[in-house]
């Protein structure tokens, strides 16, 4: 099974929460994972994600990401972005974190990058955070991840700390914050 096969076979595992409008007029469905995905599907999506930097550079096995593809409680929602039957990306959030929320994972699969999905997901996340009364949003990205840093700074996040060795010796992670209040 690949990430591009039959997410409809998730059989009620996904609860749509938003329709993300892309700049080319296409839409992508953002759905909360509310029940276990079909056998092998979580592993397939995780494998596609760890095939990309930054996870590839750190040598993460797919199993390290599968918990982010499992249903979870309200404080740690996991979302899939889907284009029709295909998985286009994953977003995992930790709520109630330092007077706001922490974006654990934002990943758009290569075939879907550059179409505005990451931006639309961040816009949706900010709108829900504001509706929730959050004061802050936080995210961590690798110093070498110029694409990630560009996306977050373009969306109003500011680097507030460098964390050398957080994930691996010789690498630095950057903590970014966006003030909502």
Ligand X SMILES: CC(C)(COP(=O)(O)OP(=O)(O)OC[C@H]1O[C@@H](n2cnc3c(N)ncnc32)[C@H](O)[C@@H]1OP(=O)(O)O)[C@@H](O)C(=O)NCCC(=O)NCCS
Which residues lie near ligand X (CB under 6 A)? 23-24, 52, 54, 106-108, 113-119, 141, 145, 147-148, 150-151, 154
The C-alpha atoms of residue 36 and residue 14 are separated, in whole angstroms, by 9
* CB-nearer residue toward ligand X: 53 or 133: 53
Q: Find out whether 8 and 85 touch, Cβ atoms under 8 Å.
A: yes
Least Å from the CB of residue 102 to ligand X: 12
CB 112, min distance to ligand X, A: 6
- Kindly state the smallest distance separating residue 154's Cβ from ligand X, in Å: 6
User: Shortest approach of ligand X to residue 133 CB, angstroms?
Assistant: 26
Find the helix or strand (DSSP H, E) in which 16 lies.
strand 14-21
Residue number of the CB atom closest to ligand X: 118
Mark 32-71 as b/e (b = at least 16 C-beta within 10 Å): bbeeebbeebbbbbbbbbbeeebbeeeebebeebeebbeb
**Is 48 or 129 the residue whose CB approaches ligand X more closely?**
48
């Amino acid at each position: 099974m690949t990430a591009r096969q039959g997410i409809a076979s998730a059989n009620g595992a996904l609860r749509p929460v938003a329709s993300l409008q892309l700049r080319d007029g296409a839409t992508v469905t953002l759905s909360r994972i509310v029940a276990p995905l079909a056998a092998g599907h979580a592993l397939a999506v995780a494998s596609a994600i760890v095939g990309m930097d930054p996870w590839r550079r750190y040598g993460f096995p797919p199993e390290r990401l599968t918990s982010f593809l499992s249903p979870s409680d309200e404080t740690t929602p996991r979302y899939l972005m889907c284009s029709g039957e295909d998985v286009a990306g994953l977003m995992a959030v930790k709520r109630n974190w330092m007077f706001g929320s922490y974006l654990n994972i934002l990943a758009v699969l290569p075939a879907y990058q550059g179409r505005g999905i990451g931006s639309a997901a961040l816009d949706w996340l900010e709108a829900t955070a504001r509706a929730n009364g959050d004061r802050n949003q936080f995210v961590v990205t690798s110093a070498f991840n110029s694409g990630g840093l560009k996306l977050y700074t373009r969306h109003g996040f500011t680097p507030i700390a460098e964390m050398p060795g957080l994930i691996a010796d010789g690498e630095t992670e950057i903590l970014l914050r966006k003030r909502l209040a």
